[in-house]
């Protein structure tokens, strides 16, 4: 199996990269899931008629640094439920136009892999107030720690570090370039703030702040609303009302083809049988 990235580029895209770009990634030393991601990316670029000239320093940095920092191998095999607000505004606008009110009953919108904090599911619930939105993910962290720049880390109920999310600014590059150091910084802040949290009855969030950092316990309760429910579940075991729309963004890429087929079949089972539009 080829492990030299420039050889792979030539294989898929029929042209090699300039040396300064090729030298910016040590593909052989990337984790196996990052190498598989790179090959899959090149396969899709070939199918979409992309050329090798589409590569630039930013894309190479993303492939060499960011991708290895967010794939499961960086988090003990866990798929980090990473997301960003505003990602799906155009899709939500499209859905609103395709299914305008009035509705006989609230249509159901299922956001599979909504991430945590579930900001995209919250965006959808606000954009579609007449719908019942379900944000679904395998993992909702018990604690979320925000730093002064808004980057955050999630911890489980025992205080064990799970993953961090850095927003795309100048400091994010340094955070992903040194994930071990970033983790230690968040863990130290968590150890300082956790004992300061107020007592909780387990039903509402509790928050403590210090020096620009904010630690929130049961942050999930801050997102649920009358038309947004958050469900901790795997797609294959999911039981919800028949859905008009199922959104599954950037999830299938983590799974092998045979698993993706099963997931798509399960999603199809969750869809409502809608009458065909008459033109």
pLDDT tens per residue, range 200-221: 776 789 999 999 999 999 998 8
* pLDDT recorded at residue 79: 65
* pLDDT recorded at residue 86: 83
Pairing of strands 228-232, 132-137: parallel
* pLDDT recorded at residue 76: 67
Question: Domain residue spans in the chain?
Answer: 5-75, 89-139+222-270, 143-217
* Interior/surface letters 105-114, b for 16+ CB within 10 angstroms, e for the rest: ebbbbbbbbb
Residues 23, 27, 33, CA angle at the centre, nearest 5°?
155
Q: Specify the CATH number of the domain 89-139+222-270.
A: 3.40.50.150
* pLDDT recorded at residue 81: 63
Residues 111 and 266: their CA atoms lie apart, in Å, by 14
Tokens 């990634």 correspond to 25
**Which pTM value belongs to this model?**
0.71
Do residues 120 and 144 lie in contact, with contact meaning Cβ atoms separated by under 8 Å?
no
- Cα-only R_g, the chain: 21
Low-confidence ranges of the chain (pLDDT < 70): 1-3, 74-82, 168-170, 202, 274-279
Token pair of 167 as six digits: 């927003």
Nearest 10 degrees: Cα torsion 181, 155, 34, 91: -120
* pLDDT recorded at residue 70: 72
Residues 182 and 166: their CA atoms lie apart, in Å, by 10
Residues 2 and 12: their CA atoms lie apart, in Å, by 12
* pLDDT recorded at residue 82: 65
* pLDDT recorded at residue 225: 94
* pLDDT recorded at residue 169: 63
């Amino acid at each position: 199996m080829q492990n030299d990235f420039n050889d792979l580029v030539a294989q898929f895209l029929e042209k090699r990269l300039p040396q300064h770009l090729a030298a910016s990634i040590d593909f052989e030393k990337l984790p196996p899931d990052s190498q598989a991601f790179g090959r899959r990316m090149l396969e899709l670029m070939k199918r979409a008629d992309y050329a090798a000239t589409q590569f630039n320093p930013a894309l190479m940095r993303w492939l060499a640094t960011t991708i290895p920092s967010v794939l499961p191998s960086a988090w003990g095999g866990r798929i980090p439920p990473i997301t960003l607000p505003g990602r799906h505004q155009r899709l939500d606008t499209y859905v609103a136009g395709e299914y305008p009110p009035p509705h006989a009953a609230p249509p159901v919108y299922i956001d599979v892999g909504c991430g945590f904090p579930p900001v995209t599911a919250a965006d959808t619930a606000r954009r579609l107030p007449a719908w019942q939105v379900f944000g679904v993910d395998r993992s909702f962290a018990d604690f979320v720690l925000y730093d002064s720049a808004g980057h955050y880390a999630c911890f489980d109920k025992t205080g064990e570090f799970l993953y961090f999310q850095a927003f795309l600014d100048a400091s994010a590059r340094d955070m992903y370039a040194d994930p071990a150091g970033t983790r230690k910084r968040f863990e130290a802040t968590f150890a300082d703030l956790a004992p300061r949290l107020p007592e909780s009855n387990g039903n509402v969030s509790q928050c403590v702040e210090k020096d620009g950092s904010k630690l929130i316990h049961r942050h999930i309760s801050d997102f649920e609303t009358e038309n947004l429910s958050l469900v901790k579940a795997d797609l294959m075991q999911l039981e919800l009302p028949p859905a008009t729309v199922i959104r599954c963004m950037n999830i299938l890429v983590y799974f092998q083809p045979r698993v993706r087929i099963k997931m798509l079949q399960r999603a199809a089972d969750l869809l409502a049988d809608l009458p065909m539009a008459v033109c």
